[in-house]
Structure 1
Amino acid sequence: MRKTILITGASSGLGAGMAREFARQGHDLALCARRLDNLLSVKHECEAVNPNVRVSVRELDVTDHDAVFSTFEDFTDEFGTLDRIIVNAGMGKGASVGTGHFHANRQTAETNFVAALAQCEAAMTIFRRQNAGHLVTMSSISAVRGFRRALNVYAATKAALTSLSEGIRIDVRNTPIKVTTVHPGFIRTDINAKVKNVPFIVDLQTGCKALVAAINKEPDNCYVPAWPWALLQAVLRVAPLSWLAKMS
């Protein structure tokens, strides 16, 4: 059992939902995010779900790369070991390239990829030293193809994260270190709360239960919820651009 789990971006959405599910299963949790007040609420929720788990929280902006390394190391010192690290923090700001929204697109690129790289570097430094651990990167179903409008840059960052994760996986194959890339489908969170008519969307609790179940199996890649995304990801890879234009 991966006893101690670190989750970034744990103050809301998928991060908070996964934290509650892992607490229910008896995992100790190291939770970090920018919004400390929200993070403390998640901590209390996890402790209410399971009073026997240990939950520690730290404020962290993942775009502060030095802070990523120091925070991960501080958690390691506190718990003695980190068994699983979930690179979850991210954002979905942006618009079509060339429409005057470079700042928002850059923020998404820096948060979803460069900051994710910093988290992977910090995590793998710890795992290589321990010669054990499970790195989990939260990609997206959008990683399989390019998408338009607000997903232009978002999809590109997730494709890059999937590729990065595979490279790390190759580096540590045949070792006790495992690397899983999760590609969530449509799960209702605050980010997409106002988006209507989303196909196959599931509520946060349903989605996070499926995410945790998939992560615990430690596959190389997974598409969550498995139905219908394990099938649809294969369709998306060969779909004509006219289909993609209707999806985003």
Structure 2
Amino acid sequence: MSKGTIIITGASAGLGAEMARQFAALGYDLGLSARRTDRLEALREQIVSAHPDRRVVLKALDVTDDEAVFRVFEEIAADFGTVDRVIVNAGLGKGAALGKGRYDANRQTAVTNFLGALAQAEAAMKIFRAQSRGHLVMISSMSALRGMRKAMTVYAATKAGVAAIAEGLRSERVPGLDVSVIYPGYIRSEMNEHVRQKTRFMVDTEVGVRSMVAAIEKRKVKAYVPAWPWVPIGFAMKRLPLSVVRKLS
């Protein structure tokens, strides 16, 4: 018997793919979306092989296509009859220092990470309001806690915006709605595979995502993950002078 249905965007690799594996192991049916459907197909085969009772629906989706976001979410909801949780995970890590001639990369990150997240939140909330229940999970970043420098400036700003959307929805106190914001620290993923392997505090994907999944299952309002060392680092980041914070980016 299914524990419920979860939509995960950006599920073809990295944190999204690993969340899919771990939530399937917990007993959830999944609606997975991403641009790269070949990877989604391989992921579904892996999940169903390990958990034959799980149902996995795949949809091609570019989250910068507003109409597609609403259509795909509605199709998944129709396939399953209900959606218990939506994890807004799809994101992009391109970026450059402002004024360095890479506005195209910064804009692409802003559109994907913020406008794409807004479209996903709108589509999810349309379903949840109709159901009078649901759990919206926004994947932010520890970088959202303060302004970051150079190539991280726009990325951090988009992730702060994602967290602000979640807080606004919590403030609205929509009946039956739970909202969680997850702030991952350094978790190995496709997005940061170019980062040197010995980055301090970097953890493997499976380990980091296990912390994310645990926080999501508890429906935490806010979670810095993994808790060690990111809870104390998060506390410090909000209070340290910018001259110290800049060394973290």
TM-score class, shorter? over 0.9
Supply the AA of the counterpart residue of 1:153: V
Residue of structure 2 equivalent to 1:133: 134
Distance 2:216 2:27 in 1: 15
Distance 2:201 2:51 in 1: 31
Q: TM-score, normalised by structure 1?
A: 0.97
Residue of structure 2 equivalent to 1:179: 179
Equivalent residue pairs, number: 247
Over aligned residue pairs, what C-alpha RMSD do you find? Answer: 1.1
Residue of structure 1 equivalent to 2:191: 191
Distance 2:133 2:52 in 1: 27
Q: TM-score, normalised by structure 2?
A: 0.97
Residues 153-177 of structure 1: CA distance to partner in whole angstroms, max 9, x if unpaired? Answer: 000000111111100111135x211
- 8 Å CA contact 2:3–2:27 kept in 1: the answer is no
- 8 Å CA contact 1:20–1:49 kept in 2: the answer is no
Provide the identity percentage: 51
User: Structure 1: 5+ residue runs without aligned partners?
Assistant: none
Supply the AA of the counterpart residue of 2:224: Y
2:42 is the alignment partner of 1:41? yes
Distance 1:194 1:124 in 2: 35
Distance 2:111 2:201 in 1: 29
- 8 Å CA contact 1:2–1:84 kept in 2: the answer is no
Supply the AA of the counterpart residue of 2:199: V
Residue of structure 2 equivalent to 1:98: 99
Residue of structure 2 equivalent to 1:165: 166
Supply the AA of the counterpart residue of 2:202: I
- 8 Å CA contact 1:4–1:81 kept in 2: the answer is yes
- 8 Å CA contact 1:23–1:49 kept in 2: the answer is no
Distance 1:111 1:84 in 2: 21
Query: Which runs of 4 or more aligned residues in structure 1 lie more than 2 Å from their structure 2 counterparts after TM superposition?
Result: none
Secondary structure (helix, strand or coil) at the match of 1:10 reads coil
Supply the AA of the counterpart residue of 1:18: M
Secondary structure (helix, strand or coil) at the match of 1:238 reads coil
Supply the AA of the counterpart residue of 1:188: R
User: Structure 2: 5+ residue runs without aligned partners?
Assistant: none
Residues 210-247 of structure 1: CA distance to partner in whole angstroms, max 9, x if unpaired? Answer: 11111000011111111111111010111222222222
Greater CA drift, 238-247 or 180-189: 238-247
Residue of structure 1 equivalent to 2:21: 20
Residue of structure 1 equivalent to 2:56: 55
Supply the AA of the counterpart residue of 2:128: F
Deviation at 1:46, TM superposition (A): 1.2
